[in-house]
Structure 1
Amino acid sequence: MTDDLREQVHAAARRARVAANELVLATRQSKDAALHEMATALRTRAAEVLEANAKDLEAGRAAGLTQGLLDRLTLTEARVDGVARGLETVAGLADPVGEVLRGSILPNGLELKQVRVPMGVVGMVYEARPNVTVDAAGLALKSGNAALLRGSSTAEHSNTALVAILRDALEAAGLPADAVQLLPCHDRASVTHLITARGLVDLVIPRGGAGLINAVVQQATVPTIETGVGNVHVYVDASADLDMAQRIVLNSKTRRTSVCNAAESLLVHADIADEFVPRITDALNAQDVTIHGDERFARDPRVQAATDSDWDTEYLSLDIAARVVGSIDEAIEHIAEHGSGHTEAIVTSDLAAARRFTARVDAAAVMVNASTAFTDGGEFGMGAEIGISTQKLHARGPMGLTELTSSKWVVWGEGHVRPTS
């Protein structure tokens, strides 16, 4: 069974390589036309997608999925239209393939150019988020890559319907359907076969919870980009405008709790704690947020006393850890110890404090007087995103088109040979 599954995954990878070789020669016009065809097909066949999604939601509720996971899994007409619009946005972006990064003519007359090129075959391993299926397919296509998609069994019906629609649209646009393929999802061994298919797969991107990401990063022999979990903090500085701070904390926490850019921890400077702690406690309580607080927050009987584990928890729910700190440096130290390198925010009116925070906090995105919800490829003008990288090599932060490319050196000569030494 395992050998059969391995061959199934590897065969898909070989088909993807053939498709990727065709996409290398595809023009921007043809790729953009295919993206528009995919968007139109999603809207036209939305009923199929929603019917399939309803089956996944029914199974998910029966299996006891958390509300946060059910929210990630849910598709609506508006969400289907949203991912379709994402494809159209990607079509409107510049094609990164062929961009000249640098070039020169050497003294000996050789012409050098470093140009962007596709990665080739990109594997995606992700959990109950069918929108990722469309985002990954669209970004991969525009950047000239073939996508191997390994979603979770919780989204099996949704992903199957989406990929069938995308493949039909690719064929209708004259591009290879195998540029988008869905891998088996019921046996975890299919993940293993994908992430160890060195030579067949050029890059793997895991997107999901800490367990999934750690398993892929630790076991993969294929190059991997780590898209980390979001233990995200909002720090309210001594000089903060408290009205602004309240808006930012509430938006960061409650806008959508199931996403990785949602705030999970709140840090408040001691100098404003007497005024801001009761105020933000009232505001969060009004939004049904459970506060897991330190001694200062826990004076309020509505606040649960925080445990050591709360500072490291990505709740993905209406919960937040909260603590009073004595200084900006104490806030930065807390973030360094407990943060996940995703997004951190400061609310302040002190320019020096903002500069200190942005310089010292080590994260993919640092917000000054803005909600953490803005860490998003669409909000950053990238169209859809394939994930948010929390590592430092190759890509960091929201990953759009350019992050799915590599580069090559193209050297032109006229019979040049290098002198022997």
Structure 2
Amino acid sequence: MFGVLYFVVGKRIWYLGKRFDYVTPSDLLGDFFQSEKVRLIVGAIVVIFTIPYLQIQLTGGAYLIEVASGGLIPFWMAALMFYVVILIYVWVGGIRAIAWTDIIYGGILLFGLLYAGVYLSQIVGGPIAMFEQMQQFHPDHMVLPGPDGDAGYGMWVSLCFITAIGALMGPQLWLRMYSVKDGRIFNLMPFLLSIIAFCYVGSLLVSWTAVLEMPGVENADQILPLMLMEYAPFIIAALVLAAGASAAMSTANSQIHAVSTVMTKDFYQRYKNPNASQKQLIQVGRYFLVLFSAVAYALALTAPGLLVTVGLVAFGGTAQLIVPTIGALFWQRSNAKGAIAGLVGGIFITVLLQFTPMLLPFGFSAAMYGLLANTVLFIGVSLLTEPRPIEAVERFKNALSDFKDEEQSNTPSSSHSKST
């Protein structure tokens, strides 16, 4: 689903970004809806809900170090190590450092996770033997809703939709979509993502091997390092744990950079110091790097939670941006009042139901109901209120028409004349 969205939605975001010089999500949505309120709400959502996602990376990385050290390095110190290392190279290298480290991290992760699954499954005779034993001794793990009864269709549908949409709407993805030089890369990404996703088969093999050989693990997020330290040679364990750490760092560095960019451009430069020099913007951005990564570190220490749960909260917030984004790209009748009503209503329902899970019917996550409320409010309020000015409508209509013409002629270009 992420690959399809990246192709359909992401390519249009890229095109408009090149056409109108956008840098952040607020740039596109604030410009389309001609509204400072929309700009502020989008910026706030991006910052607030990216921090829990950053918290996941610090928590996951800290678990790896804590378990690998046999407890010699406590959780707080391990998370601090991650925080400091990421902060240093993002501070010094910026987006260029992120790009190069992500290439390295991606390669390590692709190999490490799949290799870990295949290697550890040999403990029980290999993947085929593992599935046979699971079917014989733990069949409840192989059917919904799982052994604890909390992993039904609703949860999996929620994970499929909210994770894909929330990830696409994260600020780090917006910045990366804007920065693509050649739009043809969007045609290739769904295929590449399907290949990369195969490495997550390793997660399944590791977890089910743990069910057979290491039942009763209190913290499910620690299964991989515990299994490696128990059954794998040191060199194998070190390489695979490095792969896990690389995954955490790859995501965290982009998030820290993206959040600092949003705060610097959408809030500081726009409302505090419009005439700030490039040097000032870089310095302020670095301050935000330290601030928000410190907040994520504090959350990792005080409210770690299960990583999947924290992830759904983070993705649930950023996923709400898909509704006005779809409106901006495909529905010219949409307007700022609809976008504001949808975003505020969607976030309210998501947060309310997240803290009152007894109100959630059918096992769907809070974000799914938030997304539904967002969509209904966005469409309803837009239809009941005045449309956007005709000049604004024509400006985006012409830009998207040009995009379609380029697609049909099969000659996409990465540079376009700037419109005002």
TM-score, normalised with respect to structure 1: 0.23
| The structure with more strand, counted as a fraction of residues | 1
Higher relative contact order (CA 8 A, sep 6+): 2
